[in-house]
Structure 1
Amino acid sequence: MKLVVLAGVSATAILLTLTGLATAQSSGEVRTLRGADVQQVLPADDIHRQLEGRMSRNYRQQPPLVPHSIDQYQIDMRNNQCLACHDWTNAGERGAPTLSMTHYQDREGNQLDQIPGTRWFCNACHVPQANAPDLVRNIFQPSTGN
């Protein structure tokens, strides 16, 4: 009895596999999602480009957008490459904006000479500015400065 059931299940599996292969072969040629051959070089769209210059802020206390690429920047537990230019000790000679003094305060409000861990990961608030479409509908209107 068990042998008959096992043979029936095996035959059904083989039949389904062969049917699937036949269907796949007859479905036509494979097309790519990008609409071109794999070897063909396509130009990148212009919508996701880094913008030059600084963008204005939309509201008070908005973290400034980063006006340059940070693709190769190392920001981890030991290193923060942003501080090479933006730390108060380097900003003047590098011509970069200095970090706000609030970035040098710990949780209790004590002034420090170094960035505390609560402000170490810059890209938690500051993101590179880019000309990219909204991912979701956005009806936000910038403040008028009043």
Structure 2
Amino acid sequence: MTIKDCIKIALAVGLVAMGLQQFARAADAAASAPVKLQGLRGGTPVNQDNPPGGHKQERDHGPADRDFVQQPPLIPHTTSGYQITRNYNKCMDCHAWQKTKESGATKVSVTHFRTREGQELDNISPRRYFCTQCHVPQTDAKPLVGNTFQRARGLQ
């Protein structure tokens, strides 16, 4: 191996090391940058109401099929104007167990009456009280990006 070859190898190794160093600095800067999370309530406290959103609501229709086993059911009707606050939950006007015969709505699942520790409660568990954390109105909107998602085989 000649001195020129050694110099070339040393320069190449040096350039690669500098590139890796720059990459590591960029990764460190990205990791340390604060992430700003924004909830659907936009920072509005739970005891205050948000103004209605500008989203389009679908007309009422039959319940949609689920795409995976633990998927929360989609809401088959409009929820425009529904209030869910610390003191009032509009969904329970129809879905509370004592009101489903009259309303014809689906009863709230028994799983919504259990604490994390499995204790049965007389009323909806606070962790399951805000329905729209998991349940969303169904829509026939086209996907924003292409994907290859397929329903669970047992649900096809």
Give the TM-score, by structure 1 length. Answer: 0.63
Deviation >2 Å, runs of 4+: 47-51, 135-138
Residue among 120, 137, 145 paired with 2:146: 137
The equivalent position to 2:76 in structure 1, one of 60, 67, 85, is 67
Structure with higher RCO (Cα < 8 A, 6+ apart) = 1
> Cα 1:68–1:49, aligned 2, differ >3 Å: closer, same or farther?
closer
Equivalent residues, number = 100
| RMSD (CA atoms) | 1.9
Corresponding residue for 2:114?
A: 105
Counterpart amino acid of 1:64?
P
Percent of residue pairs identical? 44
Task: Give the counterpart of 2:65 among 56, 66, 71.
Answer: 56
Distance 1:64 1:54, change over 3 A: same
Contact 2:73 2:135 in 1 (8 A): yes
Q: CA deviation at 1:51?
A: 5.8
Tell me the residue number matched to 1:92.
101
- Shifted more, 135-144 versus 48-57: the winner is 48-57
**1:93 deviation in Å?**
2.0
Asked if 2 retains the 8 angstrom alpha-carbon contact of 1:48 and 1:131, the reply is no
CA contact (8 A) 1:57 1:64 kept: yes
Question: Counterparts of 1:73 and 1:117 in 2: how far apart (Å)?
Answer: 18
Q: Which has the larger radius of gyration?
A: 1
Q: Select which of 104, 107, 130 maps to 1:121.
A: 130
Gaps of 5+ in 1: 1-46
- Find the counterpart in structure 2 of residue 78 from structure 1: 87
Helix, strand or coil for the counterpart of 1:75? Answer: coil
Deviations 1:51-103 (A, max 9, x none): 62111111112100000000110011111110111111211221111111100
1:17 paired residue number: none
Change (3 A) 1:120 1:48: closer
- Matches of 1:95 and 1:87, distance apart in 2: 11
Mark the runs of 5 or more structure 2 residues left unpaired by the alignment.
1-55
Higher percent of residues as helix: 2
Query: Are residues 88 and 49 of structure 1, via their aligned partners in 2, closer, same or farther at CA, if it must alter by over 3 Å?
Result: closer
